[in-house]
Amino acid sequence: EVQLVESGGNLIKPGGSLRLSCVGSGFTFSNAWISWVRQAPGKGLEWVGRIKSKPDGGTTDYAAPVTGRFTISRYDSENKVFLQMNNLKTEDTAIYYCATGLFFDYWGQGTLVTVSS
Amino acid sequence: DIQMTQSPSTLSASIGDRVTITCRASQSISTWLAWYQQKPGHAPNLLIYKASTLQSGVPSRFSGSGSGTEFTLTISSLQPDDFATYYCQHYNSYSPYTFGQGTKVDIK
């Protein structure tokens, strides 16, 4: 069974940093493209960024609102992808999901990030 | 970046109704389009990819069509489990992804 589990969400002050983790199981993690998608309270889905598998270059892409502040990395030996979030803003408050694939056939349950003073 | 516009934003319907949701892209995206269903408190669930391919396990009352800039998601006969919010998404391997703003289907 494919599973994705996010962790690391917390209450953080504006300007702070946070690192989210996504752990996968039940599939060949090293071959998977992993994206982060967020959802602000009561709002729609917003794609945050993606990391390709290392066989496909391991490159990353980001949405404009997070470019230069967020970084995605992967640690395939532990089936993990990380989302490093720096210089957090109140508008980054959201549930953060990780999801697999070119289109997202599997999703985690999400982790809540609240940016507030 | 490519913009995706869904309509309507909210749709009220009854059990058994045929429901159609439209998604328009700001430029041609061929058939690089997916549809998701999301229920409150849950992660989204993939329904359709490549504009018209039904994801495994998704009921056949769901169908997708379109190419280029205009796409539709159709529910042939609305069931109680289908009251949810639906999102379209443009995807590809070389540029940012974009979601539509969502269409909430509620009970009439």
- The predicted model gives A11-37 an average pLDDT of 98
pLDDT digits (tens, 9 = 90+) for A93-116: 999 999 999 999 999 999 999 999
Give the pLDDT band (50/70/90) at residue B6. very high
- The predicted model gives B88-104 an average pLDDT of 92
| Chain B residues 35-94 with CB within 8 Å of chain A | 36, 38, 43-46, 49, 55, 85, 87, 89, 91-93
pLDDT at residue A98, as a whole number: 98
Q: Does residue B96 carry a pLDDT above 90?
A: no
Gap between the Cα atoms of B106 and A9, Å rounded: 31
DSSP-derived secondary structure for chain A: --EEEEE---EE-TT--EEEEEEEESS-GGG--EEEEEE-TT--EEEEEEE--GGGT--EEE-GGGTTTEEEEEEGGGTEEEEEE-S--GGG-EEEEEEETTTTSEE---EEEEE--
| Chain A residues 45-84 with CB within 8 Å of chain B | 45-47, 50, 52, 61-64
Q: Does residue B94 carry a pLDDT above 90?
A: no
For B97, name the nearest residue in chain A, comparing CA atoms only: A47
pLDDT digits (tens, 9 = 90+) for B16-54: 999 999 999 999 999 999 999 999 999 999 999 999 999
State how far residue A105 is from chain B, nearest Cα, in angstroms.
Answer: 6
Q: A44, B100: Cβ pair inside 8 Å?
A: yes
